[in-house]
Amino acid sequence: MTTDTHPLSAPESTPESTPESAAADAPVAIREDRLWHDAGWMARVIKNEDDDGWAVEMLQDGEPEPALVGPWTMGRDKKNPKPLDQAAFNTLVKTASEVLLRHQQQRHAALHKRLTVFALDRQWEVRLDIVPDDYEPYAVLSAFDEAGDELAQLRVRPDFRLTSASATAWITDDFRRPRQEGE
């Protein structure tokens, strides 16, 4: 008896994803005196280039630069660094995460500015949103009325200075393109 098989009818058996195979793909935690790696972070104790002491750097997986570099405690022999431990690693991860969060908040604040002005007998919210393109960066200047409706939007240079005076002048000039320094 012959069985007729079609090449598309039955796929060849493929290994299923199992917890064991997922665990094999996960990075292995490293816990050495001067190197810890776990939960997407690596702590590495290094020689401090500025003096005879030691420093620790925290690198987030996939990032080329450390998120945090700071002094590290000397060991009891006053020559070698104190070994890393779980408590120190947890504290370093928390501190490095907070540093990254602050950097993100600062970047957001630098790229998105807003202020409230009073002009033409009304209150206005004016926003400047910078688009940091590598080749042609620009910014979008927007005006919103008291109800939150956008009444004007204009593309401007990314170095536009949003101040109460510049926002008020733009509104009172019927939202015409504001003159900038260098124009």
* CA 91/CA 86 separation, integer angstroms: 9
In the chain, the amino acid numbered 52 is: D
In order of 95, 157, 167, the CA distances from 116 in angstroms are 35, 21, 9
The DSSP bridge partners found for residue 141 are 128, 154
Residue 56 has pLDDT above 50, yes or no: yes
User: Can you tell me the mean pLDDT for 61-75?
Assistant: 93
Q: What pTM, to 2 d.p., does this model score?
A: 0.68
- First-to-last alpha carbon distance for the chain, in angstroms, is 88
* CA 4/CA 7 separation, integer angstroms: 10
Q: Percent of the chain beyond pLDDT 90?
A: 73
Mean pLDDT, rounded, of the chain: 87
User: Can you tell me the mean pLDDT for 19-40?
Assistant: 77
